[in-house]
Amino acid sequence: MTDIIESEVKNASEKFKDIIYEIKKVIVGQHNMVEKTLVAILADGHILIEGAPGLAKTLTLKTIAKIIDADFKRIQFTPDLLPADLTGTRIFNQNQCDFSTSFGPIFANLILADEINRAPAKVQSALLEAMQEKQVTIGKESFKLKEPFLVLATQNPIETEGTYNLPEAQLDRFMFKVIVDYPDEKEETAVVERMIGGKIPEVNVLLNCDSILNYRNYVNTVYVDPKLIHYIVEIVSLTRNPAKNTGLSELKPFIQYGSSPRGSLAITQASKAIAFMRGRTYITIDDIKSVVKECLRHRIILSYEGLAEGINQDFIIDKIVSGIETPFCEIK
C-alpha cells in the first residue's frame, strides 16, 4: 500500500510541474504566489494577498481555474456591496406566487474577492460563513458550496481611505497571507513582450475538480514526525509568549497577540501539501520554513511599541525560527 501511495505522489508531483509550466506561459515571475495558491487548493485553505494593483493576482487565479477546469468568479468588493450580492437572495415569482432562490457568485470553485477590505463588516461576515462552513444561508435554507472551494482575497496596501480593516477573527480563517511585490526589470520586460500582441497565451486543461479532491486524500496521508509537530507548535507558542525562550525575550514588548492554534494547523497542513507537490510522503524542516511566514504573518498583532519601532511580523517570525533548535528527524 505504501508503494502505491509513493507512486501516486510522484505522479502527482510531475503533474504539478506541468501545471506550473502551463501557468508560466501566462504569468511571468510571482513564483511564490503561484506556488502558495496551488498549495492552498491542495490543503483546503484560503489566501489573502496583499499587493499593489496590476501584479497579476486576478490573472493567476483565472489561469489556474482554466488548468484545473474549475468555475471561477471575480467579485469586486465596494462599500455599497450587500451580503445578497455575494451569496444570492430569494425572489418572488408572481406567476407561481412562490419564492425561488437566485444564487450569487459565491457558488463557484475559485473566488477572487478583489479588495476585500472595501466591503463593510456585514458583507465580510457573509464571506466568513462561506469560508469556514463551506455553506451559505439564504433565507431559512443553507446550501453547500462546490468543492474544491477557495477564496483568494486581495488588499491594496497603498490606498486605505474608505476601507474596513478585516477583524482578527476573519484574518484567522485565511491559511496564508502572501505579500506580492513588483517584478524586477527583467521580468517586467518579459511581461511587456509577452502581452504586446494583446492576446493572452492559451493554457491546457491538465486536471479536474475530482482529481484535486482525490489528491487531497493523499495529502492527508503525508507523514509528519512527532518531533516536527512539536517544532511547529513551539514556533506558534513563541508568537504568543516569546519570553519562554530567554533568547527571544526582547520580542515580547513588540507583540500584543500571537497566533491561535489555527496557525499550527495551517503550517502542518500546508507543509503536507507542499511536500506532496515536491513528490514526498513525509514533510521536512524545509517544507515548514517555506510556509511559516505566510501562515503566521497575519496572525500576529503588533503592539504600539512594535509599530513605533518599525517592527513587522516577518522580522518576528525570522527571529523565532532562528532562535529555536531545529529537530533531527531520521528518514526511514
The tens digit of pLDDT for each residue in 3-44 reads 556 777 888 888 888 899 889 888 888 888 999 999 999 999
Phi-psi region of 279 (alpha: psi -120 to 50; beta: other; left: phi over 0): left
Residue with the three cell numbers 491594496: 156
Maximum mean pLDDT: which of 137-141, 166-170, 227-231: 227-231
Cell of 241: 509568549
| All residues at 6 or more sequence positions from 84 whose CB lies less than 8 Å from its CB, including other chains | 104
What is the mean pLDDT of the segment spanning 262-277? 94
What are the chain's domains? 2-195+202-209 (3.40.50.300), 222-323 (1.10.8.80)
Q: Following CA atoms 175, 80, 51, 215 in sequence, which dihedral angle do they give, to the nearest 10 degrees? A: 30
Report pLDDT digits (tens) over 61-105: 889 999 998 999 998 888 888 888 888 877 767 677 777 777 888
Q: What is the DSSP letter of 117?
A: G
Question: Exposed, middle or buried, 7 (CB in 10 Å: 0-12/13-18/19+)?
Answer: exposed
Phi-psi region of 44 (alpha: psi -120 to 50; beta: other; left: phi over 0): left
pLDDT at 328 over 80: no
Report H helices in 134-197: 168-171, 185-195
Alpha carbon of 178 to those of 130, 140, 292, 304: distances in Å? 21, 36, 11, 23
pLDDT range class, residue 2, cuts 50, 70, 90: low
Q: What is the DSSP letter of 282?
A: B
Share of the chain above pLDDT 70, in %: 94
pLDDT range class, residue 271, cuts 50, 70, 90: very high
pTM: 0.90
Contact 155/115 with Cβ under 8 angstroms? yes
What is the mean pLDDT of the segment spanning 263-292? 94
Q: What is the DSSP letter of 307?
A: H
Residue 54's pLDDT is 79
| Mean pLDDT of all residues belonging to the chain | 86
Strands 88-93 and 98-103: antiparallel
Residue 293's pLDDT is 95
Report pLDDT digits (tens) over 147-162: 899 999 888 777 666 6
Q: Of the candidates 175, 153, 179, 178, which has an alpha carbon nearest to the alpha carbon of residue 166?
A: 153
